[in-house]
Amino acid sequence: MTLKTVLVTGACGEIGQALVQELSKRGDYRIVTEDMMPLPETIKALSAEHVQGDLVYKVKTFYDYDFDIIFHLAASLSSKAEVATEEAHRINVEGTMHLLMLAAYRSEKYGKSVKFLFPSSIAAYGISNLDVKKSAGSVKEDEYNTPHTMYGCNKLYCEKLGMYYSRYYGQRHLDPDPPFMLDFRALRFPGLISAFTLPSGGTSDYGPEMLHAAAQGKPYSCFVREDTKISFMAMPDAIKSLLMLTDAPRQNLSHIIYNVAAFALTAGEFRDRALRAFPGEKITFNPNPRRQGIVDSWPEDVDDSLARKDWGWKPDYDEDAFFDQYFLPQIRKRYGM
Ligand code: SER
Among 151, 233, 257, 297, the mutation site with the greatest number of ligand 1 atoms within 8 A of its Cβ is 151
Q: Which atom of ligand 1 is nearest to the CA of 201?
A: 7
Residue 147 in any domain: the answer is: yes
Residue 38 in any domain: the answer is: no
How do residues 161-186 score in pLDDT, each as one tens digit? 999 998 877 655 545 455 568 999 99
**Adjacent-strand bridge partners of 8:** 33, 71
Q: If you write DSSP's letter for every residue of 143-164 in order, what string do you get? A: S-----SHHHHHHHHHHHHHHH
Residue 21 in any domain: the answer is: no
pLDDT at 6 over 90: yes
178 C-alpha to center of ligand 1: Å? Answer: 34
120 C-alpha to center of ligand 1: Å? Answer: 9
% the chain with pLDDT above 70: 96
Residue 36 in any domain: the answer is: no
304 C-alpha to center of ligand 1: Å? Answer: 18
Residue 90's region, left for phi above 0, alpha for psi from -120 to 50, else beta, is alpha
Where does residue 85 rank: exposed (0-12), middle (13-18), buried (19+ CB within 10 A)? middle
Cα–Cα distance measured from residue 245 to residue 258, given in angstroms and rounded to the nearest whole number: 9
Cα–Cα distance measured from residue 106 to residue 220, given in angstroms and rounded to the nearest whole number: 48
Q: Which atom of ligand 1 is nearest to the CA of 155?
A: 6
Confidence of residue 314 (pLDDT cuts 50, 70, 90): very high
Closest by alpha carbon to 56, among 115, 100, 14?
100
Ligand 1 atom 3 nearest Cα: 202
106 C-alpha to center of ligand 1: Å? Answer: 30
Closest by alpha carbon to 207, among 191, 225, 185, 219?
191
Closest by alpha carbon to 201, among 80, 75, 74, 35?
80
Residue 6 in any domain: the answer is: no
Question: What is the number of structural domains in the chain?
Answer: 1
How do residues 273-285 score in pLDDT, each as one tens digit? 999 999 999 999 9
Cα–Cα distance measured from residue 293 to residue 149, given in angstroms and rounded to the nearest whole number: 10
Count CA atoms closer than 13 A to 34's CA, side-chain side.
22
pTM of the model: 0.96
Residues 6+ apart with CB under 8 A from 155: 75, 92, 120, 121, 123, 124, 147
Instruction: Determine the 3-state secondary structure of 17 from DSSP.
Output: helix
pLDDT (mean) for 121-147: 98
Q: What is the pLDDT of residue 108?
A: 81
Ligand 1 site: residues with CB under 6 angstroms? 77-78, 121-123, 151, 189, 191, 202-204
Cα–Cα distance measured from residue 267 to residue 11, given in angstroms and rounded to the nearest whole number: 29
pLDDT (mean) for 292-304: 98
Residue 167 in any domain: the answer is: yes
Q: If you write DSSP's letter for every residue of 61-127 in order, what string do you get? A: GGGG---SEEEE-----HHHHHHSHHHHHIIIIIHHHHHHHHHHHHHHHHTS-EEEEEEEEGGG---
How many helices (H) and strands (E) in the chain?
Answer: 15, 14
Strands 69-72 vs 263-266: parallel, antiparallel or unpaired:
unpaired
Q: What is the pLDDT of residue 9?
A: 97
Q: Which domain holds residue 113?
A: 75-334
Residue 20 in any domain: the answer is: no
Closest by alpha carbon to 323, among 213, 174, 193, 160?
193
pLDDT at 113 over 60: yes
283 C-alpha to center of ligand 1: Å? Answer: 22
149 C-alpha to center of ligand 1: Å? Answer: 11
Closest by alpha carbon to 241, among 264, 257, 225, 217?
257
Is 234:111 a contact under the CB 8 Å cutoff? no
What angle (nearest 5°) sits at the alpha carbon of residue 164, between those of residues 160 and 167? 135
Q: Which atom of ligand 1 is nearest to the CA of 205?
A: 4
Q: Which atom of ligand 1 is nearest to the CA of 121?
A: 6
Confidence of residue 242 (pLDDT cuts 50, 70, 90): very high
pLDDT (mean) for 132-142: 98
Q: Which atom of ligand 1 is nearest to the CA of 79?
A: 7
Cα–Cα distance measured from residue 58 to residue 33, given in angstroms and rounded to the nearest whole number: 12
Residue 56 in any domain: the answer is: no
Among 78, 120, 295, the mutation site with the greatest number of ligand 1 atoms within 8 A of its Cβ is 78
Using alpha carbons, list the distances in angstroms from residue 321 to 2, 211, 236, 237, 318.
Answer: 37, 15, 12, 11, 5
CATH number at residue 115: 3.40.50.720
Ligand 1 atom 2 nearest Cα: 202
Among 92, 149, 204, the mutation site with the greatest number of ligand 1 atoms within 8 A of its Cβ is 204
